[in-house]
Amino acid sequence: MLKIAYHPLYAHPLPEGHRFPMLKYELIPGQLLHEGTIQQENLFEPEPTSEENILTTHDKDYWLQLKNGTLPTKEQRRIGFPLNAQLI
């Protein structure tokens, strides 16, 4: 059975007109369920990952700045998301 990771948290609130189409993370699972392409059983809520796993794909200094809420404003603009606990 196809398993699809989904959590309502993925629809992170962004300011009106933001360049990233966050709404798609809410709409796509709903549409797939509506058209019968998937069933509710296909969706699962993933658990938070370990720091060890995060560090396989992210620089340690970057991760620590994210985790501690100290990412410089310039870097926040570069990633395009406001830094807050929900994002982390």
Per cent of the chain over pLDDT 70 is 100
Instruction: Give the pLDDT score at 52.
Output: 96
**Is 90 exceeded by the pLDDT of residue 3?**
yes
Burial 4-34 (b: 16+ CB within 10 A, else e): eebeeeeeeebeeeeeeeeeeeeeebeebee
Residue 77, SS3 per DSSP? helix
Q: What is the mean pLDDT of residues 21-27?
A: 80
For residue 70, give its domain range: 49-88
One domain, residues 1 and 43:
yes
One domain, residues 42 and 23:
yes
Number of domains composing the chain: 2
Cα separation, 20 vs 24, whole angstroms: 10
**Is 80 exceeded by the pLDDT of residue 36?**
yes
One domain, residues 73 and 84:
yes
Which strand (E) or helix (H) includes residue 4? strand 4-5
One domain, residues 8 and 22:
yes
One domain, residues 33 and 55:
no
One domain, residues 83 and 53:
yes
User: What's the whole-model pTM score?
Assistant: 0.67
Q: For residue 7, which of 35, 38, 43, 50 has the smallest C-alpha distance?
A: 43
One domain, residues 39 and 53:
no
